[in-house]
Structures are given as structure tokens and as C-alpha cells.
A and B are shown apart, each in its own frame.
Chain A
């Protein structure tokens, strides 16, 4: 059963703590992405990766970090430097960047208090 998994579905953290969101895909896709979605708003790109061991900042990378040590995995760390971390985080993948559809995971809803 191919797809993208994100865990956990809901995550609660205290302010000042770093937290890592998991994203795994078994679609054999080269490209992976992290988006942030705030209530009633669109998707904003945090980071993307086209290949293992390489990743690029998106539009709102400040306060976030990623790694891509394996093709299947692209975890996102929300650091304490992120001013407003409470949001819905979506991971996606595609065959390659450019003219290919993106497959999204179910998302992680992060609440920081």
C-alpha cells in the first residue's frame, strides 16, 4: 500500500522545546516537501529536497530544519526559534520537482503552548 505517512497526527509541546515531525514515503519519489498551513490559509513551502543529502529553503524556512539521509524519509524539526509554531504541517512528495503531481501525507497538527 503505497503512500506517505506522517506521525503523529496531533502533537503538543511547551514553548521553548524543539520538536521533530516524521515523514516517510514508499513511492520511490525523489522530491519531498514540507508545507505549513494556517487556519483558512493556503500552503506555504518550508523546505524541499530533490535528492538524498540535499535540501533547499522554501519561503518560510526560518526556525525550521530538515534532513534527508534516506530517500524515504524527510523529517522536519520545529525549533524554539520559530516564533509561531502552532500550525498544520503537511509533507508531500513527487517523482521529481517540476511537472509532477504532489502526493500529500495526512498532516501533523502541532500545538505549542
Chain B
């Protein structure tokens, strides 16, 4: 069935270090979305990628969609304490979205 994997499960970084989370699907995706959930909060939409090889930036965040549309990554440059939270990818399979298990990021000041 449709399944989305994310690695790593947890990541602890020192403030100022970079962070990357990876999202993988065994089958081709139609699109992919990324969400951020702060501790105790609810998921908030960050971005959607649709095209093969697409790269989008939001300030210190860089999102990539693989050429084969089976994987994606989120990279944060120079993390800040405000980046703390869990980052989820949601793989699009036609009209269905399947959420990955998330990567929990903690940032040590």
C-alpha cells in the first residue's frame, strides 16, 4: 500500500547547526506537502512541491522534490530555537495524502 517513510525519527542539534529530514515513498508521488507541528500544537502547512526536481526556499528552509518524485527533503540552515518541533511530510497519491511519521527536531541553545 501507500506508505511514506521519514528519517531520522529524532534529531538534536546545537543552535546554528544545519538540519535535514528526508521523506521517501516506494511509489511515485503526485505531489508532496510539508507541515510543522510545534510541541503541544497542531500541524501547520509549510509548502507543497509538485514538479520533478523542484526546489523551493522559504528564508532558511529549503525544500526539494526528487527527480523520480519518490523522495523529498527539508533542509534548515543555521537552526534557531524557534525551529523546534516535528516536521511531517505528506505524500500525495492522487487525491489521497499519507503522512509520514515525522522528524522531531530539538535545538539546544
Interface residues of A (CB under 8 A from B): 35, 40-44, 90, 92, 97-99, 101-107
Contact = CB atoms under 8 A, between A and B. Distances in A.
Interface stretch (B41-49, B65-73, B76-84): B41-49
Residue of B33, B42, B92 with highest tally of chain A CB at under 10 A = B42
Interface of B: 30-31, 33, 35, 41-45, 48, 50, 88, 90, 92, 94-97, 99-102, 104
Given A104-B42, A107-B42, A41 B30 contact: no
Nearest to A48: B96
Contacts of A98: 92, 94-95
Contacts of A92: 43
Contact of B33 (A97, A101, A104, A107): A101
5 contacts: A90-B42, A98-B95, A99-B30, A99-B31, A103-B45
